[in-house]
Amino acid sequence: MDAVFNRVALIGLGLIASSIAHAARRAGAAGTIVGYDIAPETRAVAREIALCDQVVDSAVDAVADADLVILCVPTGAMDVVAAEIASALKPGAILSDVGSTKRSVVDAVAPFVPDGVHFIPAHPLAGTEHSGPRAGFATLFDNRWCIIVPLPDSDPVALDKLKAFWQALGANVDVMDADHHDRVLAVTSHTPHLIAYTMVGVADDLGRVTDSEVIKYSAAGFRDFTRIAASDPTMWRDVFLNNKDATLEILGRFTEELFALQRAIRMGDGDHLHAYFTRTRAIRRGIIEAGQDTDKPNFGRGEDPREGDAG
């Protein structure tokens, strides 16, 4: 295929950026890929593995003459990076990101976007518990969703080009506003991650008491918790700080559901438990039918490297 963008700049060279580079190269979606990371050792690894066509030593150099700039940095650093590169963005360029929260990214980045630059946030719902430039792979986004969050005045042509880019990388594309995105992700990702972190923390306390038996005899369900809880701590700290309201709302709903289940167990209400588990099983079946997981044993883990931290 013809390149969607002649020059793509990736700022931050972790799992998502490295996967973008591999997927874009596989698809021929970018003429030239330029990368930058604030950490010299990360830049050195990116050069060693030839992750990008060019790895440069400043964000300003990376975005110079780029047609698409993707911020692949923690959400808490978006404003600093946006301020740094603003004057170097060329007119007509598209500025996007891969952040797990969107309202906070819009608020952080939009004030620094120059006239003539198209700022269109995005969020690919894919990942693993691994990080760094060696962690990426070309199939990470295949049949996964990328949510694009245009602003009210986003240019339709620029929006279509960004959609085409993510589709070339293998992703399904959906469009929604920032606040709706944050609420959806609070349900599907952010609160489940918080629960996983909590469950692993509880098991760690119990494990010290019982000579690590919780770890030794873990079944698949707990292993899934530990996989989720192995995700990047900086990213998830920023997620919860920047999607506070939606996460707290969903966490409150979770607490209410948990109390109801506690009462059913205490009262021996088997009908309530059976009906609840039947309903949640149907949700799981819908996820499989939508192609977002498999029904293989152990939830398909170990067979699909895309499974893990989706942000």
Q: Give the residue among 286, 191, 291 at the shortest CA–CA distance from 248.
A: 191
Q: Are residues 75 and 190 in the same domain?
A: no
Q: Are residues 159 and 220 in the same domain?
A: no
Q: What is the CATH number of the domain that holds 50?
A: 3.40.50.720
Instruction: Name the band, by pLDDT with cuts 50, 70 and 90, for residue 302.
Output: very low
User: Sign of torsion, CA 139 142 145 146?
Assistant: positive
Q: Are residues 222 and 118 in the same domain?
A: no
Q: Are residues 36 and 123 in the same domain?
A: yes
**Which of 65-69, 210-214, 246-250, 254-258: highest mean pLDDT?**
65-69
What DSSP string runs through 23-63? HHHHHT-EEEEEEE-SSHHHHHHHHHTT-SSEE-SSHHHHH
The model's pLDDT over 24-46, given as tens digits with 9 standing for 90+, comes to: 999 999 999 999 999 999 999 99
Instruction: Name the band, by pLDDT with cuts 50, 70 and 90, for residue 205.
Output: low
pTM for the model: 0.77
- Which of 121, 152, 176 is where one domain is finished? 176
Q: What is the CATH number of the domain that holds 296?
A: 1.10.3660.10
Q: Can you tell me which residue has the tokens 């000579």?
A: 211
Instruction: Name the band, by pLDDT with cuts 50, 70 and 90, for residue 286.
Output: confident
In total, how many domains does the chain have?
A: 2
The model's pLDDT over 84-99, given as tens digits with 9 standing for 90+, comes to: 999 999 999 999 999 9
- Which of 141, 176, 211 is where one domain is finished? 176
The pLDDT assigned to 135 comes to: 95
Q: Are residues 22 and 122 in the same domain?
A: yes
Give domain status of residue 311, yes or no: no
**Which of 19-23, 198-202, 211-215, 222-226: highest mean pLDDT?**
19-23
Q: Are residues 278 and 172 in the same domain?
A: no
- Which of 176, 199, 214 is where one domain is finished? 176
**Domain that includes residue 211, residue range:** 180-300
> Does the pLDDT at position 305 exceed 50?
no
